[in-house]
Amino acid sequence: MASKLETLNRWVDEVARLTQPDRIHWCDGSEAENEALTELMLESGDLIELNPNTHPNCYLHRSHPSDVARVEHLTFVCTENKDDAGPNNHWMAPTEAHAKIDALFAGSMRGRTLYVIPYCMGPIDSPIARCGVEITDSAYVVANMRIMTRMGAAAQARIEREGRFVKGLHSVAERDPEKRFIMHFPEELAIKSIGSGYGGNALLGKKCHALRIASWQARSEGWLAEHMLIVGIENPQGETFYVAAAFPSACGKTNLAMLIPPAAYLGWKIWTVGDDICWMQPGADGRLWAINPEAGFFGVAPGTSAKTNANALAMLDHDAIFTNVAVTADNQPWWEGLNDTVPAKDWQGRDYDPANGPAAHPNSRFTVSARQCPSFSPHAEDAQGVPLSAIIFGGRRESLVPLVFEARDWAHGVLVGASMASETTAAATGAVGVVRRDSMAMKPFCGYNFGDYFSHWLSFADKAGKLPKIFHVNWFRKGMDGKFLWPGFGDNMRVLEWVVARCTGKAAAIETPIGSLPRAQDLNLDGLAIGAPQLAALLAIDHAGWKKEIAAIGEYLASYGTHTPPALHAEQQRVAAALA
């Protein structure tokens, strides 16, 4: 019988003919392979060894100054029918896209090694997990994929058993911003990325596979691929409740995933399952079961400190790769917000001069195994996943949106997720307080039309009998003085406790037109310096403001035309009527 790897072998041969590498290396994920690649990168200057006494097995990578972030305007979803990609994506016809990018791939690996990376997104034996293969000419990508996925021989064995995988082709090529594209072909389960060596553009298992392609795959197979963290909340009785949560960027996602409960919460624990991506599907018991498809964290370094995220900091002193951070005089990694030390070299390797801007790039990163996190969940590798009690949506809103509210049912919860938004800050655009909708925090990552995506979410009301309750939180409400009303960080535990108590029927709430809110006495405020007026402001409902908001949500839903499900329009109108 012909090997199921025949498809893979044939594809590797095709790519090699197109890209013309000097060598082909099939990655097995072994320690020996990793050591050899590290040596290679130290010699080429792709990696710089950090202080071995303070940070053993830690390395710094400096990317090209023109290649430091995801490039949304060069990211395409290439479906046969433009409507399938939707107005939420940049679209190109597949034939045109293949022709355009293949012309750039021609000869792009001359003088280089072509690496074949078989990987599994999710625990290697999980029925929810899916496999992929990335072909790349970057050893840096291999090193990162080894941390971020289950990469190597075991993944290749699963691919041989199943005979199916997502194809990802990547080349740094000339790193020319004019010749940089990230193309997704959902109908072919394929990705092509050229001209960038940066994280999300080059580590194709991450946003490209685990969200854009997986969201399409999930719709056709009856599951969900979401931009969400997953945490376990353990109470003093030893019961653990799992929650998934979606936030747009700059809303403290990783901090919440690794939260340390405040002193008032003796006996409570937070267990980290994942900080960025969640795949979930209905189980035989009617609940949604979730896995983190990733095996590591690719976190933003600036702002990470002992105060904001002690658990993240604790995992970064060994076996980590840092990208575009600064270094101190004794060669330790440094970034803004870390400590009071003054860096010696900035992220570009220049002597540090404040006139050149921040020492670490604002989007500088760390790549580290999830197992190094002190709060890593003992159930993060469970093949069946963890059962979800709640799903939380959140945004950055300075006014209007209360600290927390609960959706009345699944359909209302989908509306809450579809309409979630953040306000722009002056630093971002100059126009303050402009509301930007980012449905389910998936705006840059949903691989198909948002209207169809909302329909898919609604369909779970028929697929699972014990769906998680849905909540919305807003840690960013401000008072008249312009200061935050809520302390955030570890104190967000107080909101999570109410969420869990609502899921178990042990907490009261007030019904309002926008959802159910806690009363002041329903939140544990022990040890928190917060006055009654502050709390009242955090839980206040501005009816006039909400009438405008719900009307704006109606206009937003209408922007997806006939693809928006009538049930979602009906839900928006129900809330509007309740407010009237």
Q: List the one residue out of 367, 362, 370, 368 whose CA is nearest residue 325.
A: 362
| pLDDT, average across residues 513-522 | 97
Query: What CA–CA distance (Å, rounded) separates 460 from 457?
Result: 6
pLDDT above 90 for 522: yes
Phi and psi at residue 83, in whole multiples of 5°?
A: -60, -30
In three-state form (DSSP H/G/I as H, E/B as E, the rest C), the secondary structure along 182-244 is EEEEHHHCEEEEECCCCHHHHCCHHHHHHHHHHHHHHHHHCCEEECCEEEEEECCCCCEEEEE
Annotated binding site: 70, 198-200, 207, 227, 249-255, 276, 363-365, 396, 489-492
AA letter at 122: G
Q: pLDDT of 219-241, one tens digit each?
A: 999 999 999 999 999 999 999 99
Annotated binding site for GTP: 250-255, 365, 396, 489-492
107-129 core/surface letters (b: 16 or more CB in 10 A; e: else):
ebbeebbbbbbbbbbbbeebebb
Q: In the numeric block, which tokens belong to residue 487?
A: 């302390």
Q: pLDDT of 528-545, one tens digit each?
A: 999 999 999 999 999 999
Query: What CA–CA distance (Å, rounded) separates 438 from 72?
Result: 14
| pLDDT, average across residues 287-312 | 96
| pLDDT, average across residues 267-271 | 98
pLDDT above 80 for 424: no
Q: In the numeric block, which tokens belong to residue 96?
A: 């045109």
Alpha-helical (H) ranges within 348-433 are: 410-418, 426-429
Band (430; pLDDT cuts 50, 70, 90): low
Whole-number Cα distances in Å, 546 to 129, 346, 554: 40, 46, 12
Band (434; pLDDT cuts 50, 70, 90): confident
Number of other CB atoms surrounding residue 405 within 10 Å:
23
pLDDT in the model for residue 427: 44
| pLDDT, average across residues 197-209 | 96
Residue 17 exposed, middle or buried by CB count within 10 Å (0-12, 13-18, 19+): exposed
Number of other CB atoms surrounding residue 409 within 10 Å:
12
What is the rounded radius of gyration, in angstroms, for the C-alpha atoms of the chain? 24
Q: pLDDT of 365-388, one tens digit each?
A: 999 999 999 999 999 999 999 999
pLDDT in the model for residue 425: 59
Q: Indicate the domain borders of the chain.
A: 6-221, 226-292+380-579, 312-368
Annotated binding site for substrate: 70, 198-200, 249, 363-365
Residues 6+ apart with CB under 8 A from 6: none
Q: pLDDT of 460-501, one tens digit each?
A: 999 999 999 999 999 999 999 999 999 999 999 999 999 999
410-418 helix and 566-579 helix, angle to the nearest 10 degrees:
90
pLDDT in the model for residue 429: 42
Beta strands of 395-536 (E only): which ranges? 404-406, 421-423, 435-437, 469-473, 510-512, 515-517
Q: Which CATH number fits domain 226-292+380-579: 3.30.9.10, 1.10.3720.10, 3.90.228.20, 3.30.465.10?
A: 3.90.228.20
AA letter at 53: N
Query: What CA–CA distance (Å, rounded) separates 159 from 191?
Result: 17
pLDDT in the model for residue 5: 86
Q: pLDDT of 242-266, one tens digit each?
A: 999 999 887 889 999 999 999 999 9
Collapsed DSSP state (helix, strand, coil) of residue 561: helix
The average confidence (pLDDT) of the chain is 96
Q: Does residue 246 contact residue 394 with C-beta atoms inside 8 Å?
A: yes
Does the active-site annotation cover 131?
A: no
Task: Say which of 58, 208, 251, 373 is annotated catalytic.
Answer: 251
pLDDT in the model for residue 460: 98
pTM of the model: 0.97
Report the helix count and the strand count for the chain, using DSSP H and E: 18, 29
Annotated binding site for Mn(2+): 207, 227, 276
CATH number of 6-221: 3.40.449.10
Q: pLDDT of 91-118, one tens digit each?
A: 999 999 999 999 999 999 999 999 999 9
Residue 330 exposed, middle or buried by CB count within 10 Å (0-12, 13-18, 19+): exposed
